[in-house]
Amino acid sequence: MAEICFFGGLVHHKAPSPSSLHPLFRSKPHHCNSTSHMAASVSAECHSSLEPPSLLVFSGGTGFNGVVEELKKLTTRVAHVLPVSDDGGSTAEIVRVLGGPAVGDIRSRCLRLSDESTSEALAVRRLLGHRLPIDAHKAKKDWYDIVEGNHSLWDGVSGPYRETIRAFLVYFQNEILRRPNDTFCFSNGSIGNFFFAGARIFFQSLDAAIFLFSRVSEIPCDSLVLPVISTNDRLTLGCELQDGTIIRGQNEISHPTNGTMQTVDKRHCSTSDLPSKIKRVFYMSSEGNNLLHEVFPPVNPTVLEQLKTVDCIVYAMGSLFTSICPSLVLLGVGEIISSRSCRKVLLLNGSQDRETSGFTASCFVIAIADALNRTHGDPNIRLKNPPGYYINTLLVPKDGEIAVDHKQLSEQGIDDVRVVESVCDPKHGILFNASSLISTLAGLV
């Protein structure tokens, strides 16, 4: 693997100080808060006279992960835009005790993009992808073995990488110990999430934490993992149903789990249907007494920069209202997408879930257009663009559950509808065949 900058002498449970950092990580936190500056520094290293196509993908942390490896064969010039409002699983526990944005979706995508070309790269990926046991006592023991450097997961990880990763795991542990009134539950915890959280708190910058994770896991230098909102604060997603009901929290909208930390299969989630269809999603206050108050965080400026220049914009399959729409409702996103004449591709889900029960293909299009137009929000910032300004191509998995209503799609301005080979997964239902999907995308761009 390429040379990595690391901390020295961190063998005790002592948090690293800025003076102990290699020059790469020694900048003050306010110098590290822009992914665009970091992206610019590495883009020169990646210059090629024959550049592959560039894409921007709106997705969540699960649905699109299955095709990331195949996509790298077409191009690594991809900006992955992800929400930071997940409040389920181990992410919820980190946010509850330490605050800050949710990093689970970002960590998941970073791991999918990480290098696998050497045994050490695989060892690093295995370590950062590890989840602790469900049993709380076993999880805590497993965690202490890891943070103390005694776990077998460290096998194959060389000194520089070991010291870098372990330094931020130690820092994360110290932050937990500084909050004695909040007992942290390690059950099903993600080591990658803990590393991310430690780095974010140390640098006081989510962008800097992503940059560090990208270097440690050797993500291709022209691939960007972008939080749609670049913040060091907690964000809460809310939704308004068509009957006026307000639901607070991504987990409560998508797949309520009654506090369980276990992984949830959204397609076969046993929770009851929503009482009414979702009208819109928005961001809610996480502070103070009025937690139903709507807030308007600014979009990450690097996302807007990328939208202006990429060859293709992709709305990935996944949870429509809790994974895709949170990135679309922000001011400036709809304005830029509607102004572009590039390919704008919607990847239709193969199965229904709690959020889209009864939806046809045109319903997905309406939901995306409404989010980008901010149709049901503040009338002062509302757009009135037709759906065809935002989507001009629809890719459909063969034999999928969602009806493709061609007449309605044509009326929306979408005539380019293509069926892509699919696979039937016993857990997740109909999914795109990854190689067929990327081959179709290659033909489009």
Provide the b/e sequence for 13-25 (b: ≥16 CB within 10 Å).
eebbeeeebeeeb
Q: Report the pLDDT value the prediction gives residue 205, as an integer from 0 to 100.
A: 93
User: What are the per-10-residue average pLDDT scores of the chain (445 residues)?
Assistant: 39 41 39 43 48 95 90 95 86 91 92 92 95 95 96 94 95 94 92 96 94 92 95 90 92 72 46 86 76 86 98 96 96 98 97 93 98 94 96 97 97 97 91 96 94
CA angle 285, 336, 64 (to 5 degrees): 70
State the Cα–Cα distance between residues 410 and 407, nearest whole angstrom.
Answer: 5
Contact 240, 276 (CB under 8 A): no
In terms of Cβ atoms closer than 10 Å to its own Cβ (0-12, 13-18, 19+), residue 424 is exposed
CA 100, chain centre distance (Å): 15
The closest alpha carbon to 96, from 218, 261, 207, 327, belongs to: 261
Q: Report the pLDDT value the prediction gives residue 279, as an integer from 0 to 100.
A: 96
The closest alpha carbon to 283, from 331, 315, 355, 317, belongs to: 331
Residue 277 host element (H or E): none
Q: Report the pLDDT value the prediction gives residue 297, as an integer from 0 to 100.
A: 94
Domain 52-83+228-444 listed as CATH 3.40.50.10680: yes
State the Cα–Cα distance between residues 121 and 126, nearest whole angstrom.
Answer: 9
Tell me the per-residue pLDDT of 307-352, one tens digit each, with 9 for 90 and over: 999 999 999 999 999 999 999 999 999 999 999 999 999 999 999 9
Contacts of 37 (CB under 8 A, 6+ apart): none
Domain boundary assignment for the chain = 52-83+228-444, 89-223
Q: Assign 315 to helix, strand or coil.
A: strand
Contacts of 257 (CB under 8 A, 6+ apart): 88, 251, 264
